[in-house]
Amino acid sequence: MSDSLSSLHPAQVRLAQAVLEEVLADGAAADRALARHIGRNRKLGARDRRWVTRLLFGSLRSAVGLRRRAGDEPAAWLAAQLAEVHAATAEDLARLGLPTPPPAMAEDDEARRNWPEWLNVAATARMDPDDCDALAAALRQEAAVDLRVNRLRGSREQVRALLAEDGVTAQPLEWAPDALRLAARRPLQQTQAWRQGLIEPQDAGSQLICELLSPVAGETVADWCAGAGGKALAVAAQQRDRGTITAFDTDAQRLRRIAERANRLGVRSIEVQAFDGDAPDAVFDAVLVDAPCSGSGTLRRHPDQVLRAVDLAAMAATQRAILDAAACAVRPGGRLVYATCSFLPQENDDIVASFLQAHPDFSMVPAAGVLGSPPADADDPWLRTRPDVHGCDAFCALRLQRAG
């Protein structure tokens, strides 16, 4: 963004401060809290929204160090962010109603990476320090906007041309067949492509997880932890809407969002089912488990997650239980994809290794044999996407085959 500091006004700062207060005091999700506040301030212009968003998420991308310096004082966070990133002077801060920022402190690995202690300990126990540094630096950047082209209604080149007519520049990603990456953030809801149901926002790494499942027309598919249905919708498009997809989740409210999204995209093959996590009576040709996890791989989009403690042992127990239940729903000869939006081996490699010991009828299918290399690594059976390599969130996924 090119807005100068002179375009920043006290009202914008007060709004950013109010949102940050909710995040720090109440544990609110930053994106949802921001949307609520912007929705209550309909007169905000585009520049106002940009500044509020920049202040909020810029501060959260330095949250570990800022919390050490200033506790949970939103005004101090914003003052430090403006002084260090935007070169705000004492006069600038006073004009904006902000205090003098607290003095900077020497940074250790946690503050430099913006990783809380639990994440830094877990990562450095299993990963090279230089690798941690590269990944952390990429996760502190703003995420790109990736779109999934809805192949039910058009080709990638057709959609790209249609977006260009509306002034939106997008580039195809060679290794993700339905992905377009925007050159810059743009509002999409008023574009022809959106109105015609030709596009859906979805990180390219998330799209690759669906490609790894490789569903074909006529198959029955279970999306085990479906949430709001992004992957179920992608699977439906891969099947040309000629299959049966059951979207399972324990959160019925999130499942209700699927119908509206499916209607816009012209998808008819998804049915939703709220459940308690136990295996249903039915069996499926393919099962996708996008397991609940620490979310360490999505810190670009959700930097507020560094403020929350994660019990990795409890998380691993949940992940293993979900994988065991989902495996029971895979027909003999069927396939199972396990995925997380975490880069930690404790939530990926360790879970599947334990699972395979208890389920000898399942075996690994190397990702490179399904997707090619890149994006997969020919020497690693897992699909692992990274922001510093692929420009995607950090996902891990593995395909498993059940013996016939």
What is the rounded distance in angstroms from the CA atom of residue 182 to the CA atom of residue 160? 10
Enumerate the H helices of 286-398 as residue ranges: 312-327, 349-358, 367-371
143: tokens are 């995420």
- Tell me, yes or no, if 341 is annotated catalytic: yes
CA distance 372 to 203: 19
How far is the C-alpha of 180 from the C-alpha of 244, rounded, in Å? 27
The Cα–Cα gap between 26 and 44 comes to: 25
Query: β-strands 270-274, 284-290: how paired?
Result: unpaired
Distance CA(306)–CA(119), nearest Å, equals 8
Residue 187 φ/ψ, nearest 5 degrees: -65, 130
> Catalytic residue among 210, 225, 341, 392, which?
341
Q: How far apart are the first and last CA of the chain?
A: 55
Please state, in angstroms and rounded to a whole number, the distance separating the CA atoms of residues 185 and 14.
Answer: 24
Pairing status of strand 284-290 against strand 220-223: parallel
Q: Which residues are designated catalytic? A: 341
